[in-house]
A and B are shown apart, each in its own frame.
Chain A
Amino acid sequence: MRDRKRSAGATPWLEWAVGALGAVLFISLLGVLLANALRGPGPAPSIAARVEHIETAETGHVVQFVAVNGGGRTAAEVRFKADLVTRTGVRETREVIFDYLPPHSERRGGFIFQNDPRGGALSIEADGYVDP
């Protein structure tokens, strides 16, 4: 490339093209970042969890769930608590912590119960979080 450049005495079109591509990428990245920054900090994390499905494994019953942050800010160390009261009245509580729950994003996890949650009353709630 350099040879051609030297002999032609001008910058070859390929360099212009790649340079232009870089400029476009640069400006678009910057644009998205600044547009986001100008919007300011979004509304507080709004965290919800819903059960996806329940599986029975050898070591227990796994409740697979999705955590969704509908707010505008990232929540770190989000703690979820699951409270189960089975049909027979047995009570079990479980906890799980998600490292990060970015805004408008989903993360998946599971609770492991000894008793079958199917048919019982199961609630999953977010306890709290840390600002990253």
Chain B
Amino acid sequence: MTMEMWQLGFVAERVRVAALLVASLPLLTGLSHVAGFERTFGLVDDVLDAFAAFAVAVLAATVILGLIGVLAPGQPIAEIVAKIAVVSFPAAIGALLADKQLGGKEQPASDDQRAYGGRLFLMTIGALFVALNVAPTEEIILIGFQISPWQALALSIASLGVLHALLFWIDFPGVERRRGARGAWSILLRDSLPGYGLCVLASLALLWVFGRTDGVALSELAEFAVVLAFPASLGAGLAPVVVGPKRA
């Protein structure tokens, strides 16, 4: 809902918005699979769920952007389409999760923990979801300009610490089991560090989509990525909690 989000509609390069749209489809499908309550239903069902979430997202985005006057008659189609496309990915994640959270039934008893890949995938989704809303804002760039390399380093360590603390301490299902079997170091190496790496990658990808990487020196780019990876790691750390509470 920030100004930058809809300004992207006429500022962002169409190819990059299209790339975001294309990338959103496998991510939504994967989310439907990982967060889903019905593992027995195959790929077709997950793809259907992804498209359904997408439909809900586009309709909701159109209505809301229309209500708040961001979409108005007389605007060129290309502009309207780009505005909706940019907002639809986070909206679709929301739609999918809402369905799983509010509409879902009890998880059929299954003893297996969420697979390792699934955990990392969820972290990526959480990182993208939070970072998407922040990435287009001017503040990320401004903070990137303001901080010194030392502060950037400290910020990245702090982000990693927050992510690690969330993954280690928050009482999400399966954690007792895991904490029993694996100590803090194991979680750090297997979850937190790769998770933070995914946050940085997600941040870089989003910065590229929103044209923030163009003509930027590598050192500045690294700082932008570190700044954006901070909210992203909050999202990554909380995603397993938001998606997994029923998985007791």
Contact = CB atoms under 8 A, between A and B. Distances in A.
Interface of A: 1-3, 5-6, 11, 15-16, 18-23, 25-26, 29-30, 32-34, 36-37, 74, 76, 100, 102-106, 132
Interface residues of B, number: 41
28 contacts: A2-B38, A5-B41, A15-B45, A18-B48, A18-B52, A18-B55, A18-B56, A19-B48, A19-B52, A19-B55, A21-B55, A22-B50, A22-B51, A22-B54, A22-B58, A25-B54, A26-B25, A26-B51, A32-B77, A34-B15, A34-B18, A74-B11, A100-B10, A100-B11, A102-B75, A102-B76, A105-B74, A132-B7
Given A2-B104, A19-B51, A74-B11, A105 B77 contact: no
Interface string B34-45: 000110010011
Given A30-B18, A33-B85, 11 more contacts: A2-B38, A18-B48, A22-B55, A25-B55, A29-B21, A29-B88, A32-B81, A33-B14, A104-B76, A105-B10, A105-B74
B17 interface: yes
Nearest to A23: B51
Nearest to B78: A36
Nearest to A103: B76
Contacts of A26: 21, 25, 51, 54
Interface string B92-105: 00000000000111
A3 B104 CA distance: 10
B152 interface: no
Given A2-B38, A29-B58, A106-B74, A74 B10 contact: yes
Interface string B62-96: 00000000000011111101101100100000000
10 A-B pairs with least C-beta separation:
A22-B51, A22-B55, A19-B48, A102-B10, A37-B14, A22-B54, A33-B18, A18-B52, A19-B51, A37-B15
Nearest to A28: B81
Given A20-B51, A34-B14, A11 B45 contact: yes
A127 B78 CA distance: 27
A76 B21 CA distance: 25
